[in-house]
Each structure stands twice: as C-alpha cells, then as structure tokens.
Amino acid sequence: MKTIKKQMKNGNFYLGIAFVVMVILFYSSSQTYEQQSQISLLEKVLKNQPFKEFFETISFVYAGDEVSVKARGYFKFVEFFVRKGAHFGTYFIMGGSLFLGLYPRLKVRWLPAVLAWLCATGYAGLDEFHQMLTGGRTPLFQDVALDSCGALTAVVLCVIIHTWRKKR
C-alpha cells in the first residue's frame, strides 16, 4: 500500500494510467468499424428501444453527416453517442492522468496543465492518423476536437481542485 501511495505522490501511477489509455486507444484504432461495432449488443440490451420518441426529435450534422434516428436508425444513433462518449471519456482520463503525473515533477500549475492538454491533443491527432491507415475507418478532425475537449475538461477540473485544496 505504501508503494502505491508513493507512486501516486510522485506521479508515476498517473503516468502509468495515461500509458495504459494510450495502448488501449492504439489497439482500438487498429480495429475496423465492424470489429468495434456495438450494434448487436445494443439490439440485445435496448430491444424495446427506450426513449425512441425523444431521440427522434434530435437531429444535427457531425463531420458533414446527419446524425438522427431517421438517417441512421435507432441503434446506430445510440451507438454514435456511445462512441463519442468513449472519445471524450478516454481523453478525459488521459488528460487528467497526464496532469497528475506531470505536476509533481514540474510544480508550476500552468506548465503541467498545458503540457497534459497538448500531449493528449497531439495523441488524438496521431490516433486519427493511425485510423486513416486502418481499413474501414474514417479519420475525423471533429474527433480530434472532441478528444481535445475531453482532455481539457479533465485538466481544468484538476487545476480547479488542486487550487481549491491548496487554499484549504
């Protein structure tokens, strides 16, 4: 237990989390859409199509394509949000972990914040490039922006919490 606390205090634990997230993302980007598709699972779990009437009122354009139940069907519409939530969430974890891993080494709040955000955003760009090399995948600038927002949200929350703790 002492070792984990020490690793958390010096930031190595958090950098390890960021590295694990990067490995998972690299593996995920190596798969085709068909290999990653969650449609069959969603069809089993959401067989009664909950909130369908509400979802049918939602329509917007993402990366030049219409996102709606009418355009995609119920299950692909839901999967879109699952996928984009995964984008935001994984980069949220990466951005926060990078900040928490870099802060003990750099001690100046703004420097690890900027580096964590830039590293996560850079990795998002490289991840989309990797998707371009994978068959059946479409690299999107909009996904890089979404990933970057996830990382930035985590970094800002970490800075706010860290500042609040220091004042207490």
Dump pLDDT digits (tens) for 51-71.
999 999 999 999 999 999 999
Mean pLDDT of the chain: 92
Does residue 148 belong to any structural domain of this protein? yes
CA terminus-to-terminus distance, the chain: 26
Does residue 138 belong to any structural domain of this protein? yes
Does residue 71 belong to any structural domain of this protein? no
pLDDT in tens, 3-50: 666 666 778 999 999 999 999 999 999 998 888 889 999 999 999 999
pLDDT given for residue 134 in this prediction: 85
Q: How far is CA 47 from CA 24, 38, 39, 73, in A?
A: 29, 13, 11, 13
Query: How many angstroms separate the CA atoms of 34 and 36, rounded?
Result: 5
Does residue 144 belong to any structural domain of this protein? yes
pTM summary value: 0.91
Does residue 44 belong to any structural domain of this protein? no
User: What domain range includes position 154?
Assistant: 2-36+86-167
Give the rounded percent of residues in the chain with a pLDDT score beyond 90. Answer: 76
Query: How many angstroms separate the CA atoms of 5 and 65, rounded?
Result: 47
Does residue 66 belong to any structural domain of this protein? no
- Judge whether 33 and 83 are in contact, CB under 8 Å: no
> Which residues, other chains included, contact 125 with Cβ-Cβ below 8 Å and sequence gap of 6+?
144
CB atoms under 10 Å from CB of 57, counted, come to 8
Counting the structural domains of the chain, the total is 1
Would you report the helix, strand and coil content of the chain in percent, each value rounded to 5? 75, 5, 20
Does residue 25 belong to any structural domain of this protein? yes
Q: Is 85 left (phi over 0), alpha (psi -120 to 50) or beta?
A: alpha
Does residue 28 belong to any structural domain of this protein? yes
In the structure encoding, which two tokens stand for residue 118, read together? 């830039």
